[in-house]
Amino acid sequence: MTLVLVALGAAFGAPLRYMADRAVQARHDSVFPWGTFTVNVLGSFILGVLIGGAAAGAVPAPLVTLLGTGLCGALSTYSTFGYETIRLFEDGARFYSLLNAGISVAAGLGAAFVGVSVAQAVWP
């Protein structure tokens, strides 16, 4: 059953990532990968809320599997982050490459922390 929940979540997360990435990137005339940055931060926030809710006993394990592992796992994308960071560096946009690496990690961790904090406020 766990595999089915992961697959169902991923079936929604992957197309959502693609559509969100394209929609965000289309609004920015920049080499910086805003679409990937956005989906990674959003996925980190959602996962933080889920984990915080699970720790409080308010979010059941199957929902964490469906939305956390499945949806967030497919929504966020470490491989694309890595590729785009290297591509920026190789294309001579070294500042953007370093900026992407730094703020992506910081924003992802920050979003997860905020998500857990939100969950703790909602489910004390």
Annotated binding site for Na(+): 73, 76
- Cβ atoms of 120 and 58 closer than 8 Å: no
Alpha helices by DSSP H, 27-64:
34-55, 61-63
The end-to-end CA distance of the chain, in Å, is 30
Annotated binding site: 73, 76
Tokens of 21: 């990435």
CA distances from 32 to 4, 21, 90 (A): 35, 12, 13
